[in-house]
Structure formats: structure tokens, C-alpha cells
Amino acid sequence: MRFAALLLFLSLAACGPQPAGKPVTRIELDTGKAVPIAGVTPAAAPMQVKIAADCERVVFEQIPLTHCIADPKKHRITTALGPKDGKPYRSLAALAAGRRADAASVAFAINGGMYDGGGKPIGYYVEHGKRLQELSQTDGSGNFHMKPNGVFYGTGSSWHIKTSEDFYHLVGDRPDFGTQSGPMLVIDGKLHPQITQDGPSRAIRDGVGVDTRGRAHFVISNAPLSFGKLARYFRDVLKTPNALYLDGKISALWDPATGRLDNAAAIGPMIVVENRN
């Protein structure tokens, strides 16, 4: 009788409702808060393709940031504007959809480089060794023309950041990838001369710096912050001699390990960090 009762108990337990999985969350770009996506479980989330994380959440002077590291020993870097012979993606979601077949190769991706109304770069831009836009040395208004601006570029496992002027005079060979943006945040260990310690302008912002070990550090804020605070994080915490501002307000990150896929506004050039096989 006890054996029969046990079988009945197990049968009823198997037929009962199973516990629901935890909902997938997305990161609100303006607040940095995780918001559940109704009706979606981790098993159904197409962007969660790996376990190892290359990005971490940190806090610097009460501002939440996401810090991602590209290591030449583990990763390669490419730029992406749009599908071959096609219009610009304009979003990380479109990039992710285009990379669905090899999504596991993507460690993370971030928007990087100034662009026009159609999403095309307005400064130096190289993708897979092909130059699509020449170096801009023009003057003008806005962050891009807050001289000195700079170029993030590289070939193979060698990645660098130089002011646009130094890039023009010192770099003769075309790199595998390159994107021009501005302003520079850190130049030879010092803050950009027009950037104060913590100025009044506040926005969601992202940037990139390269440390003395050759690793590229990508940082995106999860709450509005000043140019100075972002620059000092690169200089004082990450110890990057040179760092470059990538964009603000529309800054976006795709981090497959956590399911984060920002899609708040149309963007232009993107920087893709891939896992080496």
C-alpha cells in the first residue's frame, strides 16, 4: 500500500504545474535599471548565446557603468556599418539579426563613431581593410569637432588610439579597422584640455581606451554623467594613457552573455568584439 501511495504521489507531482523561469530583463538606457520583458524566459531569449562574460557592472562616483574588456589574446575587433553592399544597420538589433547564424562568435558590440543623418560615418572609417571614409580634419561645432578628436584603429591583435593629427602624420599603413570620433577623453595620461573634472553637461555616454597591455576597454554609462567623470574613469581606474569618446545619449551596447540589447535610437558605425576560435 505504501508503495502504491508513493507511485500516486510521484504521478501527481509530475502532472502538476512547473515553476516558471525567471523573466529576461532588458537594461533601460536612461536609468540603468533592469526591466522584465513579459512572457520571455531565458530559454527563449535568442541573444543569450554564451556563459562567459566579458562585461561587468561597476559603480564610479555613484554612477553605474558597464565596463567591457577586449583582450588581444581572446578577441578580435572589427567595425560594422551594414550588410555587404547594403544600407547601414542603424541599430544593434539589426546587427544581431544579421549575425544570428554566428551569434556565438560575438563577445559584445557597441556603437562607435560619428555619422550623418543616413547613418554613414563623417570621419575616418575602415571596415575589413577597406576605407569607406577619409580622415576628417575640418572644424565645426559639436563633440566631434572638439579638437583634438581621435581615431581608434587596429590590425590583427594590435589596437591603438591616436589623436587625428597624430594619426595623419604617423600612421602610413591602412589598418584592418578604424573609426574616428571625438573628443579625445585622455591624451598621454592627461584629460582633454577642454574637459573639466565634472562639468554641467550630463548624458548617457560611451568611450574606449587602450591600456599599456594592449587591451581595449569599452565603457558605457547606465545613467547620465559628465565628460570629466567618464574621462577620469579611464585615466584613474582603467589606467589607459589614451581614451576616445564614442558617443552620447544614443550610446548602445549588445552583450549576448546577459541578454542586453539596447535599441533606443538609430545609430551609425558599430564596433564588434569577436571571440577567437
In a domain, 206, yes or no: yes
Q: Averaged over 124-153, what is the pLDDT?
A: 94
In a domain, 18, yes or no: no
Place of cell 582633454: 192
pLDDT interval class at 267 (50, 70, 90)? very high
Asked if the bond preceding 183 is cis, omega within 30° of 0, the reply is yes
**Per-residue pLDDT tens digits for 157-181:** 999 999 999 999 999 999 999 999 9
In a domain, 21, yes or no: no
Q: Averaged over 191-213, what is the pLDDT?
A: 93
**Per-residue pLDDT tens digits for 214-260:** 999 999 999 999 999 999 999 999 999 999 999 988 899 999 999 99
- 75 pLDDT above the threshold of 70: yes
Range of the domain at 64: 49-275
In a domain, 12, yes or no: no
pLDDT interval class at 29 (50, 70, 90)? very low
pLDDT at 47: 35
Asked if the bond preceding 148 is cis, omega within 30° of 0, the reply is yes
pLDDT at 190: 96
pLDDT interval class at 74 (50, 70, 90)? very high
- 9 pLDDT above the threshold of 70: no
In a domain, 29, yes or no: no
pLDDT interval class at 52 (50, 70, 90)? low
In a domain, 195, yes or no: yes
pLDDT at 118: 93
pLDDT at 30: 36
Structural domains in the chain (count) = 1
Do the Cβ atoms of 231 and 260 come closer than 8 Å?
A: no
Q: Which cell is 214 given?
A: 594592449
Q: Averaged over 28-46, what is the pLDDT?
A: 35
Percent of the chain's residues with pLDDT above 90: 70
Q: Averaged over 84-101, what is the pLDDT?
A: 91
Percent of the chain's residues with pLDDT above 70: 81
Q: What integer best gives the mean pLDDT of the chain? A: 84
In a domain, 108, yes or no: yes
In a domain, 36, yes or no: no
